[in-house]
Chain A
Amino acid sequence: MTQKLSKRTRSLSLPGRQRTLFRWRPDQQWDGYLFVLPSLAGLVVFTAFPVIFSLVISLFDWNMIGKPRFVGFDNYAALFTRDIIFREVSWNTLIFLVSIVPIQMACSIMLALALNLRLRGNSVFRVVYYMPVITTIVAAAIMFQFIFDRNYGILSSVVWNLVERWSIPITPPDWLNHPGWAKVAVIILTLWKNIGFSAIVFLAALQSIPKELYEAAAIDGANVWHRFWTITLPMISSTTFFVFIILCIGAFQLFGESFILTRGGPGYATMTIVQYIYQSAFEFFRMGRASAVAWVLFAAVFVFTIIQWHLQRRWVYYETGER
C-alpha cells in the first residue's frame, strides 16, 4: 500500500529531486495544515490575536489615541470595589438570565410539541415562528417601541378599549418610562425574537424519537402526560442541555434588544454588561476597562458552563450510554 502510493506520488515530484517541498509522502501531515491555512490565518488574525490583545489591554489605561499606561489589575479591582455602574449592569444581566432562560425553554418546548403535531398547515406555522429569528433586531425593536407606547400602542389600546367599554378602573403600564416594566418589555422582545430558534432545535429532537417507544408505552396504558415525562423529556434531554447552555450564553451577552429598545433606560434599568463594554470601548474610549469587563464576563460564562457541564450527568441521557 505504502509502496504503491509513494511510487505514484514520485511521478508528481520534480525530476531529479528526491526530497523537495512539494514531494508527496503519505506520512506527511503538514500539507493538511497548508489547506486549512486560509481559515487558520483568519482565526489567528481575527480571533486569537484580538483575544490576547484585549487581555493585555485590560492591564492598561488606554484611550486608543494616547500611549497605554500600565496599571496592573487596577481595572479589575475598580470593577469590584468602586464601579457602581458595573454592579448595576451585572444585576440587570442576572435578572435577564434567570427570567429569559426558563421562560424561553418552557415556551419553546411547548411550541415544538405543537409544531410536531400532524396538523394541516403546520409547515406554515413553522415558518411563521421562525421568522422573528431572521428579522433584523433594529427593525424589530423599533416596531416594539410603537407596540409599547402607553397611549396609542397596540397593547395599550386593548386595555384602553376595555376601560372605555366596561369602565374597568385599570391603566396600562407606561412600559419604557418605568424601570420594572422596561425590563419586562426587553424580556418580551427577546423571547419573541429567539423562541423560534430553540423551538426548531427541539422540533428536530422530537422528530428523532423512535415511534416504537410511544407505541410500546401506549400499549402499556401510559397516558399523554406519562409519555411526555418518561419518554419525550428524557429522549430530548441532550438537546435540552444544548439549548440551555446556548440560551444562558445568549442571555449573558444580551445587548441589541435592550440597547435599541430602551438605550439602557430608564436610568440604568435595562443596561446590560455588553452595553457597558460597548459604550466604554467605543463611546468613551476606555479600552482598559472595556477589556477588563469583557474578561470578567468571559470568566462568568466559563465557570457557569463548567458547572452545568458537571451537573448534566444527573439529568442528561445519551443514547450511547456513556457519559
Chain B
Amino acid sequence: MQQRSFALFALILLLLVAACSSPSATQSPATPNATAPSQGVTLRWSVWGSPEELASHQAVADAFMQAHPSIKIVIEHTPWEGYHTKLKTIVASGDLSALPDVMFLGQDFNQYASEGVLENLTPWIERSGYDLNDYWPALIERATINGGIYGLQRDLDLRLLYYNKDLFDEAGIPYPDETWTWNNWAEAAKKLSIIEASGRIVRYGIGMETGKWGMLLAQSGGAYLDDPRNPSRCTLDTPESLRALNFYADLLNANAAMRPATLQQIGGDAGAFTQKQVAMIVQNASRAPTFGAAGMNFDVAPIPIPEGGRRVNNSGGARWVMSSASKHKEEAWTFLKWLQSANGGIDIYTKRGEIFPALRSVAQSPSFLQVDAAPRNRQAFVVEARNVSLFTFGDFPEFGELNDLIIEPNLQLIWSGQASVEQTVPEICRRVNEFLKQNGYPRS
C-alpha cells in the first residue's frame, strides 16, 4: 500500500512538472497589436516617465494628432527602471518589427545604431531640408555613428552651480555670475564654510559629488590621457592637470569643500544642500523642483572657470530615434521632425518646465526663459549650453578598469586628505602608463 501511494505521488509530481513546463514552451511572445484604422496610419511611440512626464507626452501626442489628422499616435509607456531592458529584450529576440516606430532612448544608442536597429536619419534630413544648425554644438556630432545621424537629441543634461541665496546674504557675498573665476569661487567657499572652535564643521562652501571633479580638469585644459580613444600616456602630470588637481585638493583641505566620500556618506548633495550643510553644489536641472518644493531661496549660475580656462559642460541627454524595421517610416519621420521643431513637441516639453531644450531657438525663446518657476536665472543655462562639449577622458574598452582600479582609488586618497598631489600623481601616471602598455596601447 505504501509503495503504491508513493508511485502515485511520483506520477502526480511528474504530471505536475510536465503541466507547469509545457505552456511556457509553447507560449509565443505577445506582439502588440498594430492594426491601423481604416483611414490613416497608427504610429507606436515608446516613452518612459513619471505620471507628470507621461501627461506631457500625451499633450505632445494630442497636439501632433491635431495638426496631422491622418496619423494616430499610440503611446507605449514603461517606467524608466524597465524601459531600456524591455527594448533590449525585443532587440535580442531578433524580431525588430516588434519595436515601436518612434522610440525615446537614454541608453544603448551607439550599440543600436551600429547594429542596424535604428534608422539612419541622414537621408530623411537631407530630403526634407531639416535644419541641424539650430542644435547646440556637439549634439549632432554625438548622434553621428559611422557618418550617419541616428537620433535627434531632445534635451541637454547641463550642470550648473546651485547656490543658497540666504547663506550668501548672511555672509555678505555677492551672488555668483558669469564673470566668476575659480579665485572668486574659492574665496566665497572659504567665507561660507563654518568651522567651530572645536573643529566640528557645521557647513562647507562647496559640495561636489565623486566624479564631478572631471569638469574642473576639462575647464583648465587638462585630461587623464593624451588621447581618449587611443591613449599612449597619462597626462595628469601636465601643468594644466596639476592646476585643477591642486585647486580642488586645496579647497578640500581648507574645509571649503566637503570631501566627496563624506558627501556620499551623508546621502548625496541634494540632501546636504537643502539642510544647509553645503552652500553650493554642482547639479543638473532635475533637482530644481525638489529645492523649490523644500521652500529654498536658491538660484543657479554658470560654473566658475579658471583664469584663462574655458567653459565645458556635459552634452548628454535623451534622444528620439526611429526603428529601422518601421513600416511607416514616412509618417515616423513627419512625427520626429515635428517633435524636434521650434513650434512642435520640444516647445511643449520646454513650456512645461521639464527640460532644457536641445534647440537654441527654443532655449532663447520665452518658452524657456519665461517659465514661472525656480531657478530664476534661466540665462545661466544658455551660457553653459553654448559651451557643451564632448569631453570624455577615456573611450576605449579597458578605460573602466583603468579608472576604477588605478586612477580613482589614488585620486580618492588626495580627496580624502591622505596624500598630496605631488606624491600621488607621479605614482598614478607610472601605473597608468604601465597599464596602457600591458593592454597594448597605443594601437596603430
A232-279 residues at the B interface, CB under 8 angstroms:
262, 264-268, 271, 279
Pick the residue among A24, A35, A146 that contacts B266 (CB under 8 A).
A146
Chain A residues with Cβ below 8 Å from B409 are 264-268, 271
Bound form: Cα–Cα A85–B435 in Å: 12
- Check B262 against A176 for contact (C-beta < 8 Å): yes
Partner of A284, one of B261, B267, B404: B404
The distance from the CB of A37 to the nearest CB of chain B, in whole angstroms, is: 11
Cα distance A12–B315 when bound, in Å? Answer: 75
Q: Are A265 and B3 neighbours in the complex by a CB distance under 8 Å?
A: no
Is A304 in the interface zone, CB < 8 Å from B? no
- Please name all residues of chain A whose beta carbon is closer than 8 Å to the beta carbon of B410 when the two chains form the complex: 267
Q: How far is the CA of A295 from the CA of B39 in the complex (A)?
A: 66
**Do residues A267 and B418 form an inter-chain contact, with CB atoms below 8 A?**
yes
B261 in contact with A266 (CB, 8 Å): yes
Expressed in whole angstroms, the minimum distance between the Cβ of B397 and any Cβ of chain A is 8
A residues within 8 A CB of B400? 283-284
Given A164-B198, A267-B418, A150 and B401 touching (CB < 8 A)? no
- Taking CB atoms, residues of chain B closer than 8 Å to A176 are 261-262, 265
Min C-beta distance of A154 to chain B, whole Å = 13
Using a CB-CB cutoff of 8 Å, which residues 192-224 of chain B contact chain A?
Answer: 198-202
- Report how far A279 CA is from B405 CA in the complex, Å: 9
CA distance A174 to B262 in the complex (A): 9
**Cβ–Cβ contact B404 & A266, under 8 A:** no
Q: How far, in angstroms, from A148 to B262 measured CA to CA in the complex? A: 9
Say whether A183 faces chain B, with CB atoms less than 8 Å apart: no
* Contact pattern, B 405-441, Cβ under 8 Å of A = 1, otherwise 0: 1000110110011110000000000010000000000
Chain A neighbourhood of B7, CB < 8 A: 12, 22, 24
Whether the Cβ atoms of A177 and B201 lie closer than 8 Å is no
Q: Does A44 count as interface, using CB distance less than 8 angstroms?
A: no
Given contacts A177-B259, A177-B261, A266-B261, is CB(A279)–CB(B404) below 8 Å?
Answer: yes
Contact of A146 among B265, B412, B416 (CB under 8 A): B265
Question: Is B10 located at the chain interface by the 8 A CB criterion?
Answer: yes
Given A24-B3, A35-B10, A283–B404 Cβ distance below 8 Å?
Answer: yes
Residues of A within 8 A of B202 (CB): 151
Q: Is the CB of B4 within 8 A of A150?
A: no
Bound Cα distance A268, B398 (Å): 20
Residue ID in chain B nearest A157 by CB atoms: B200
Nearest opposing residue in chain A for B258, CB measure: A151
> Are B413 and A284 closer than 8 Å at their CB atoms?
no
- Chain A residues within an 8 Å CB radius of B198: 160, 163-164, 171
A150 and B259 alpha carbons, distance in the complex (Å): 11
**CA A215 to CA B81, docked complex, whole Å:** 64
Besides A151-B277, A177-B417, A279-B405, 18 other A-B contacts (C-beta < 8 A): A12-B7, A24-B3, A145-B264, A146-B265, A146-B267, A149-B265, A156-B200, A160-B198, A163-B199, A176-B261, A178-B416, A178-B418, A264-B409, A265-B416, A267-B409, A271-B409, A279-B404, A284-B404
A selection of 10 A-B contacts at a CB cut-off of 8 Å is A8-B3, A84-B431, A151-B202, A152-B266, A160-B198, A174-B417, A179-B418, A268-B409, A279-B404, A284-B398
Q: Which positions in A face B, CB cutoff 8 Å?
A: 8-9, 12, 22, 24, 34-35, 63, 84-85, 142, 145-146, 148-152, 156, 160, 163-164, 171, 174, 176-179, 262, 264-268, 271, 279, 283-284, 286
